[in-house]
Amino acid sequence: MYHLLYLLVCLNIGLFAAPEVVGQSTGLALTIGTLGIWRYSWAIINFIRAKIYLHIVFPRRRKAAEKRYREQKWRAHAFFLVTTYKIDPSITGPVYRSIFDAAARSEGGATIVSSVVDASDVRLIKAIFALSDASRSGLVSLKFDRIPGTGKRDALATSMRTIARLNPGWQDVIFLVDGDTRVPPDVVAQAAPFFTDPIMGAVTTDEVSEASGGRLFKDWFALRFSQRQMMMSSMGLSERVLTLTGRMSAFRGDLASDPTFIESVQHDFIDHWRFGRIDFLTGDDKSTWYWLLQRGYKMGYLPDVKTVSVETQPREGFIDSAIVLMRRWFGNTLRTSNRALALPASRIGYFTWWSILDQRMSMWTSLAGPCGMLIATVVFNPFVLLFYISWVMLSRYVTCALISTFRASRFPITYPFMLYFGQLVGAMVKTYVLFRLDRQKWTRQTGAATTDTKRGILASDRFSFYMHALAVGWLVLGMVWLVDISGA
């Protein structure tokens, strides 16, 4: 019923505005449409690549990997590194039960290293372990790293060094798991065969969300994970995903225990022309990704393995919560993308290189269309805005229908609105973060990044505002020029 009403409203708005727009703004439509053609063609390319990967390429890869694994005499020992910090026990309990279950099913045995801050977490985890099959199997050991609450990067590095002292080999697998992520019981059997490929450095998996909070927050996350399934599958075709999700990814044992790998997790940084050295606080998944990318390793995607991520709404309102999360996510991406683009495309793959470049471009192309239409509404005809609203409603509905095919379920009518919100507000947040790369903050942690900023006006907030305003001004000026040319 809601879908029918949505489509009728979209149709009525379009038919109402069409007589005042069609034939009178052809040049404008062609000008703005050129940007749209690129965005939609890129989306279609990724959609097609994802379907090819899911239904043709990945099943063949899995079959070949499992055949190689069966022919090996060894079975991978699984190392689970779990970071737990300020997480409710109602979340921690199911997470560790899932990990102990997966460890008990690991044919080559398993070692679980739990990085914790509070003693109460140690007591809870020990109690859960005592009741699990893993504690009775004789093939699973549990270790704890008690650390001060100095951040996730320190926690990961400390426990990675604990694992490194156990001498994991290339045939073993190290799983990095967040304390709010549940893993499937067969995760070791599903992931280990892919590491029979000697240049496979890591794999990441599909995710589904279990979000608390309001309806909009839940729908937004569900849509994001559906989009993620499509984009990850598309990139999986090239065996170079664009991120090794920090919630749960698996790494080849000898790589994730390499001292330089561990150092990159704990002390990653970039040198910025305005801010000087920016030490990374967040974005450990981007650091692990870049380390492997730089060295030419493959990074695979397992669309048939699902982890469950428990998402909590960080702020009271949906918009505030979404912006807080997007600032962290996009900051991680933008701080890493420039150095990734500096790598040879021949080493990382041309499609991968172009996809990274598109991440940089999309923030501006996503803003150009709405900006041009608003200008055209003032300059030419107010009906242009109505026609654009109709187009946005229809195009986002079709896009959501296509995205929903990756989840085999109907989508709620909120999806088209959430999609446009993510595109438009997300682009605004990206441009904001682009000129303020030194600002970093975890959702649950209060620490700030240690940044050796250059002294003077270049690193000041005022100059960041000036640079941001100048870039937006050039975008608006460019769209005014295009609108004027198209209307001439």
Instruction: Identify the H or E element spanning 218.
Output: helix 215-236
Q: In the CATH scheme, what is the code of domain 73-316?
A: 3.90.550.10
DSSP state of 332: H
Determine the pLDDT at residue 453: 46
Domain ranges of the chain: 73-316
Q: How many CB atoms lie within 10 A of CB 450?
A: 12
Token duo for residue 2: 């809601």
Position 238 scores a pLDDT of: 96
End-to-end CA distance of the chain: 44
**Residue written as token pair 């000129």:** 435
Contact yes or no for 79/174 (Cβ under 8 A): yes
How far is 176 from 245, CA to CA, in rounded Å?
9
**Phi then psi dihedrals of residue 311, to 5 deg:** -105, 130
**Distance (Å, rounded) from C-alpha 161 to C-alpha 258?**
9
The pTM for the full model equals 0.93
Q: How is 346-407 classified by DSSP, letter by letter?
A: HHH-HHHHHHHHHHHHHHHHHHHHHHHHHHHHHHT-THHHHHHHHHHHHHHHHHHHHHGGGT
Q: How many other CB atoms are found less than 10 A from the CB of residue 37?
A: 11
CB contact set of 258 (below 8 Å; sequence gap of 6+): none
- The predicted structure's pLDDT at residue 169: 94
Pick from 422, 392, 245, 228: which is nearest to 318 by CA? 422
- 335 φ, ψ to 5°? -70, -20
Q: What is the residue-level pLDDT of the chain in tens, covering all 488 positions?
A: 899 999 999 999 988 887 777 655 555 666 666 777 778 899 999 999 999 999 999 999 999 999 999 999 899 999 999 999 888 999 999 999 999 999 999 999 999 999 999 989 999 999 999 999 999 988 999 999 998 888 899 999 999 999 999 999 999 999 999 999 999 999 999 999 999 999 999 999 999 999 888 899 999 999 999 999 999 999 999 999 999 998 999 999 999 999 999 999 999 999 999 999 999 998 999 999 999 999 999 999 999 999 999 998 999 899 999 999 999 999 999 999 999 999 999 989 999 999 999 999 999 989 988 988 888 888 777 888 888 899 899 999 999 999 999 987 789 999 999 999 999 999 999 999 999 999 887 665 555 554 444 557 888 989 999 999 999 999 999 888 877 665 55
Q: Which letter, b or e, does each residue of 278-303 get, where b requires 16 or more Cβ atoms within 10 Å of its Cβ? A: bebbbbbbbbbbbbbbeeebbbbbbb
Closest by Cα among 138, 42, 129 to 82: 129
**How far is 452 from 459, CA to CA, in rounded Å?**
10
Note every long-range contact of 452-459, with CB atoms under 8 Å and residues 24 or more positions apart, other chains counting.
452/276, 452/277, 452/279, 453/275, 453/276, 454/274, 454/275, 454/276, 458/274, 459/274, 459/275, 459/276
